[in-house]
Every structure is written in structure tokens, then in C-alpha cells.
Structure 1
């Protein structure tokens, strides 16, 4: 897995040089601005709703009453910390749904960017056709819905674990790694689909090469410091990654 993580990290650096060399800034900014607008709007509504959810859970479980009755500073600290952990886990739970909405809405643009990247790699001057883009976008949506279902099951479990003091403190890290993996999964699948891998073959391939998906997703999250660039860099680096490994490792 470490070798795959290194390959994925290198591809992000190559993606930056690739974008500059082939003047792809338009295809960086278009999905980036849309993503940034959705992200800011979504975070606003999350901030409004997350506090209400935490207050409801606290009231439903009577955690505040227990803390006051026991008069324990340690328990108060544990409950307060658990509240913070729950907030972080809810943030990632929300972000997972936001991410899938963006993947579904942006699937035609992502398919176009991935296909254009590969056409440049292979010196193919023919512009990507709409029928092919439509097919890849449709498949991307089904993969996104499949991953959303599985991730929801895992995240609900993590939310319940986050309520347990000490044990639940690691749940935000697990949720973050899961988020990164499934996002990278979606980015890699565009290239795998174009190389005649069925959905089951793509799932099997990425299952055997988790490091490629994980590193792509982690770097995508790190790019949120420059949020406008994150989506395009993720899809271009994923395309470059698959073009590196597909010859070496059969799907």
C-alpha cells in the first residue's frame, strides 16, 4: 500500500505540471468554482443543523443530567470531549453526502476532464465525444450511489461509537480516512471504466490497490486550503495514476 500511496502523491505533483503545460486552467476553475459555491453553502447549513442534532442527542440520552448529578470533573470532561468528537463525526457524515452530490452533479465535467487528460497523454487530438462522456458520467453516478450506501452504513456505526468516551475519540480519524478512500475511488473509476473494466472489476481493482484511492482522497482534502483547485487536480491526478499502474497490474 505504501508504494501505491507514493505513486498517488507523485501524480498530484505531475497533475500540477500537466495543467500548466497544457493550459487546462479553464477546466480547473469551472468545476472548482461550482464546488466552492456548493461547499460554502453546505457548510453554512451544517453549522445551523449540527448544534441542534447534538443538543437533541444530549437531551435524549440525559447526558447533561448525569454530569450534574455525579459532580465529576472527569465525567464532565469526557462528555464535553465526546460532544466535540460527535460534532466532528457529524461534520464528516454531512460532508460525505455533500461529496456525493458534487460527484453526481459534476460527473459530466469530471468525465470530460479525465478523458481529455488521457487524450493528451496519448497524443490524440480528437475531442472527447458526448456519447462517451454521457456513458462514463452515468456509470460514475451508479458508483457514487453504491459507495454512498456503504459509507452511510459505516458512518452511522461510527456516530454511535463516537458517543462512547475514550473509545469514540478515534472515530473522526476513521471517518476521514473512509471519506478519502471513497472519494479517491470515484476519481479512479473514470479511467478504469475507459479501459473496459466493468464496475465489479473496478471495485476489485481498487480493493486490491486501496493506497491509490486513499492517497488521492487525502490530498483532495488537503487541497481544501485552495478549494477551487481540489476537484480538477483530483481527477487529473487519478487519470495519471491509472495510466501508470494499469500496464503493471492487470485489473
Structure 2
């Protein structure tokens, strides 16, 4: 399978995934990202309020704000508190928007493992007896791989941010960064299917390296959603459910296609 064939298969799998979810009544899985959003929003809100308050207290002590007694000092104090609140929340949104994709993948790994298994069972008819010990191993593997992919992507990000300052060449850095992030997102999604086929992490890496188009195609939609300002991370959890179904369908088709070619 060529790079562009894999890319097209990855893209096309999303429309198949949506129909697949509808047909086989898998919409119940969307409850998990909804719950995750509620938890993350609650924790994020509480954390930013606490952090902004602590920062304001530190600033108050640093500039001895309590001793201010000139006209308008209370107004200035209130403005500084509001400004600090806004800055900290914006920083939280920016940082979370960048690393939020991997946080979603790590936290929803148990759901992804079970959903991918369910999809393949429907497609192929293969039975996968539930093994709690193996299930925990699958979750741990998904977290490890997502962490690995995130660290490697960070290195590439730093590299391309530096390249971005080079005239002309820098114009392509944003596109390259998007392709890289899509590749690693797709890698994380595809691995849930490969793990069930008893592929170790090295074999999974080798498979994805030879199916770069497939990885970018299955990870790109998730990456595009993450780029939506403010609400991208909130939506990404729901899109990740579709991405897992799409990647499972695409990976199964890709493997079956290659088996057919090898037989001929």
C-alpha cells in the first residue's frame, strides 16, 4: 500500500466509522468523553482559581499592596486580580490545547482498548475472551506509547519552531508540524489494533513506519479538531471515539489487503 493509498484509506474510514457507530449502536461510548470533559473542566477551573489566588497573594506581598492608601488603589488591586485570573486561565487553555490530545488518549485508553476490540469483533467475527490481566497490560501499553509519541513529537516541535525562523523554509514548518502530530495521534490509535494481534511495541513501530499515510490519515481529523480555539480539547474526546473506530476499520482493511496481495 502506497503512502497516498494509506492516506486516503485513513480519511475515508471516518465516514465508515460514523455509519458503523450508528448501525451497531455504539453511541453509548460517547458518554465517556462527556464524563471526562466534566472532570477535566471541574479540576481545571478549581486549579486555575486556586493558582490565580496564590499568585495574587504573592504579588500583594511582593509590592506591599496592603499598604496602598492612595485614591484608586482598590480599583487597581481589583484590575490586577482580574488580569491575573485571565492570564492564568489563558495559559491553562493554551497549554492544555497542546498536550490535551495525549491526555485524552491516556485517560480514555481503557475505553479505546475495549471499543477497538468490539469493532474488530463485529468486522471479523473473531472472539476475544476478556482477560482482566491482559486488559490492564493493554491500558499500560497505550499509556506508554502515548507518552513516547508525545515526547518525540515535542522534539520535532522544537526543531521545526527553530526552522520556522528561516525565510521561505519556515513557511512549511506549520504544515510539517501538523503532519507530525497527525502521524503520532494516528500511531496511538492504530496500536490498539496491533496489540491485539500480539505485536510488541517494536513491531508496532515498524508497521506504522511502513504505513505512514495510514497513520496521518487516521490521526489528522483528531488533530484538526484539536486546533479549534477554546473548544478543540472538549470536542477531541468525542472525535477520539470516532478515530478509534476509524483506525480499527482502516487497520483491519490494510492488513487484509496485504494478506490478499501476498497470497496472489
Fold agreement, TM-score > 0.5: yes
Pairwise CA distance, 1:171: 1.7
Instruction: Say which of 204, 210, 227 aligns to 2:206.
Output: 204
- Point out where structure 1 has 5 or more consecutive residues left out of the alignment: 46-90
Pairwise CA distance, 1:28: 2.6
1:125 & 1:139 partners in 2: Cα distance? 21
Q: Does residue 107 of structure 1 match 2:109? A: yes
SS at match of 1:249: helix
Q: Does residue 187 of structure 1 match 2:189? A: yes
Instruction: Say which of 247, 251, 263 aligns to 1:238.
Output: 247
2:23 & 2:11 partners in 1: Cα distance? 19
Deviations 1:86-121 (A, max 9, x none): xxxxx6x86452222222111111111111111222
- Point out where structure 2 has 5 or more consecutive residues left out of the alignment: 49-93, 227-231, 260-264
Contact 1:100 1:145 in 2 (8 A): yes
TM-score of the two chains, using structure 2 as the length reference: 0.67
CA 17–127 in structure 1, closer or farther in 2 if over 3 Å, else same:
farther
Counterpart of 1:140 in structure 2 is 142
Counterpart of 1:50 in structure 2 is none
TM-score of the two chains, using structure 1 as the length reference: 0.70
1:141 & 1:39 partners in 2: Cα distance? 21
Q: CA RMSD in A?
A: 3.0
Contact 1:11 1:241 in 2 (8 A): yes
Deviates more, 1:218-227 or 1:170-179: 218-227
Contact 1:28 1:233 in 2 (8 A): no
